[in-house]
């Protein structure tokens, strides 16, 4: 099934100029890049994006981290794009991520783990619309 998923290259990976390599890893998994933006969000904007985690203990440190520098927000499209991107990212904790995954290669720790990806069609819909309108996505 063709679907779209949101991906974010987080400030840690962006600051190390890893964006091109990460995009290449996604493209190698037959994910097509159909939208991209370079942004530097305020902590309030990040809080709106991560509102589903508002009650979790890591919310404040996550939103602080995600607003500390530029991020690269991407939309990938492809067959089973959500699962395919999540497999490409690897486990949330880079120490547990399989060799060859984005987080194993570029992640520093469980919070500074290089990338974000939608976890369901519902979250992908919300996340993509948070950053993009339909005119900004290649059809």
Active site residues: 116
Q: Any alpha helices (H) in 17-108, and if so which ranges? A: 19-28, 43-49, 59-66, 81-89, 102-106
Eight-state DSSP code of residue 111: S
Q: 113 in helix, strand or coil?
A: coil
**H/E stretch holding 34:** strand 32-39
């Amino acid at each position: 099934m063709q679907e779209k998923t949101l991906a974010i290259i987080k400030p840690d990976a962006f600051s190390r100029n890893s964006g091109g390599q990460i995009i290449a890893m996604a493209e190698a998994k037959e994910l097509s890049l159909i939208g991209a933006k370079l942004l530097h969000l305020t902590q309030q904007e990040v809080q709106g994006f991560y509102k589903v985690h508002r009650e979790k203990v890591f919310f404040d440190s996550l939103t602080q981290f995600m607003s500390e520098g530029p991020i690269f927000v991407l939309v990938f499209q492809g067959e089973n794009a959500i699962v395919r991107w999540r497999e490409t990212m690897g486990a949330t904790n880079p120490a547990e991520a399989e060799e060859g995954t984005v987080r194993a290669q570029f992640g520093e720790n469980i919070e500074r783990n290089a990338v974000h990806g939608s976890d369901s069609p519902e979250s992908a819909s919300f996340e993509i619309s948070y950053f993009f309108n339909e005119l900004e996505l290649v059809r």
